[in-house]
């Protein structure tokens, strides 16, 4: 019997739980019973515990010694806080990247952006989501600061579920791509502060789209 998934079992559990928490399927304050979760995923408590540790360090759940884990409070305020952190992190990255990217890196970023036109036209959200990740990742690497890039990746990973929700709003991919164009322009002009501002606006628009999606769901 071949295991089609290359991922670690604990990672699969972590991603699934993170998804359920960010989408609201697991409400704030709900107790996360290790055994119960293990049963749900057909796993023992060991990988479940490792997944919970990860989630705790990313802030999605709270673990109190010997008292179990509960879903962290995810009020609209908390989510807004997370988006602000995310936006500021992206703004920091693009500001540094504007000053530090090599000509080769800049043209690679432009090529990426040009390639995404077809995805938007075809309405392929999954493909665009993948492109989106690479576009932002290229900016992280453009900071030429491995530590900042790693932090940015970790933060983005953490917001992944929100992002997917957000891109499903009709018309959002088109707008998202247009905003990317503005980011690119600011980078090409070498105006780091302007790039940072455009990035904050881009992230704000994404968060607004997500809020609307969540409201329409519930």
Contact positions vs DNA (CB under 7 A): 3, 8-10, 31-35, 38, 42-47, 49-50, 63, 65-69
The site map against a second copy for 102-131 (x = CB under 8 A) is ------------------------------
Contact status: 2 vs a second copy (CB under 8 A): no
Please choose which of DNA, a second copy, none residue 45 contacts, taking the beta carbon within 5 to 8 angstroms, the exact cut-off set by kind: DNA
# residues near a second copy by CB under 8 A? 24
Contacts of residue 123, defined as CB under 8 A and 6 or more positions apart, other chains included, come to: 173
b/e code 10-44 from CB counts within 10 Å (16+ = b): beebbbebbebbbebebeeeeebebeebbeebebe
Tell which positions 142-161 bind a second copy, by CB under 8 A. 145-148, 150-151
Tell which positions 7-66 bind a second copy, by CB under 8 A. 8, 11, 46, 49-50, 53-54, 57-59, 65
Please choose which of a second copy, DNA, none residue 181 contacts, taking the beta carbon within 5 to 8 angstroms, the exact cut-off set by kind: none
Q: How far apart are CA 73 and CA 62, in angstroms?
A: 9
Please choose which of DNA, a second copy, none residue 28 contacts, taking the beta carbon within 5 to 8 angstroms, the exact cut-off set by kind: none
Secondary structure (DSSP) of 34-64? HHHHHHHHT--HHHHHHHHHHHHHTTSEEEE
| Among candidate residues 77, 83, 95, 78, the one with its CA nearest the CA of residue 199 | 95
């Amino acid at each position: 019997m071949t295991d089609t998934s290359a991922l670690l079992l604990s990672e699969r559990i972590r991603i699934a739980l993170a998804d359920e928490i960010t989408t609201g399927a697991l409400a704030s304050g709900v107790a996360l019973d290790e055994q119960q979760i293990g049963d749900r995923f057909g796993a023992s408590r060991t990988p479940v515990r490792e997944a919970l540790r990860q989630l705790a360090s990313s802030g999605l759940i709270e673990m109190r010694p010997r008292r179990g884990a509960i879903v962290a409070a995810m009020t609209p305020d908390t989510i807004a806080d997370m988006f602000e952190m995310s936006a500021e992190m992206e703004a920091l990255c693009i500001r540094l990247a504007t000053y530090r990217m090599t000509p080769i890196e800049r043209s690679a970023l432009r090529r990426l952006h040009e390639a995404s036109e077809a995805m938007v036209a075809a309405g392929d959200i999954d493909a665009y989501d993948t492109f989106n990740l690479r576009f932002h990742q290229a900016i992280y690497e453009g900071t030429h600061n491995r530590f900042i890039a790693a932090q940015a990746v970790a933060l983005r990973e953490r917001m992944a579920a929100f992002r997917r929700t957000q891109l499903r709003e009709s018309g959002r991919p088109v707008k998202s791509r247009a905003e990317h164009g503005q980011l690119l322009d600011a980078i090409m002009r070498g105006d780091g502060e302007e790039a940072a501002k455009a990035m904050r606006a881009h992230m704000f628009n994404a968060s607004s789209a997500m809020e609307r999606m969540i409201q329409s769901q519930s």
